[in-house]
Amino acid sequence: MIELPVGLPSELVPLSWLIGVWEGSGILDYTVDGEKVTREFGHRISFSHDGLPHLNYSSYTWLEPEVTDAAATDDSAPAAAPPIPLMTETGYWRLSRPQQAGDPGPGLLPGVGAAPYQTAEAVETLRNADGGFDIEVSLVHPGGVLELYLGQVKGPRIDLATDAIVQTSGAKPYAAATRLYGLVDSHLLWAWDIAALGQDLRTHASGRLSRAA
């Protein structure tokens, strides 16, 4: 059973199973310049809310240093090297709906009147024809890439595909992506396909995370 956090906006109930910190590992499997790159990595994801109708998201990944055979058998070998930071990303997850007068923005402008969709009954009106809820996910990478995903949450499963990607002039080529998240046996499973470096959409990475204590 998922316990809903105190003060959770009604709009976030369909996404509430994500809230918390998740940790585990994943597998990177992608081809770069004709050579396959396959590595295991550590992964930590955080989903939180601040009383507004969106989830705050952050992701941090790292590589464990590769251990040579000599280091593995030599008792005099130095202590293991620290993990190597790999990638971070941050962003927001929310139900997809038109912004109304009661919503804050643009900028710092406060909403006018009552905030919309404050009850479960009101949120139910947002359910789509497939029985789920349309969602929007905006993510920022420090390497000069911004992603806007559209998709849906239906029970403990989320399917996303990029609707737009913005890149700085110095960013590496990155054209499209899809992501899948699912809650299976209390674990958060995810998969990420990308079209990058001049290649078409293909498998990139996947992982399995457990809820942190």
In the annotated binding site for heme b, the residues are 172, 204
Query: Across the strands, what pairs with 59?
Result: 45, 89
Nearest to 192, CA basis, from 26, 7, 57, 42: 26
Please, are residues 47 and 59 in contact by the beta-carbon 8 Å criterion?
no
**SS3 category, 22:** strand
User: Which residues are annotated binding-site positions?
Assistant: 172, 204
178-202: buried (b, 16+ CB within 10 Å) or exposed (e) per residue? bbbbebeeeebbbebbbbbeeeeee
Please, are residues 45 and 62 in contact by the beta-carbon 8 Å criterion?
no
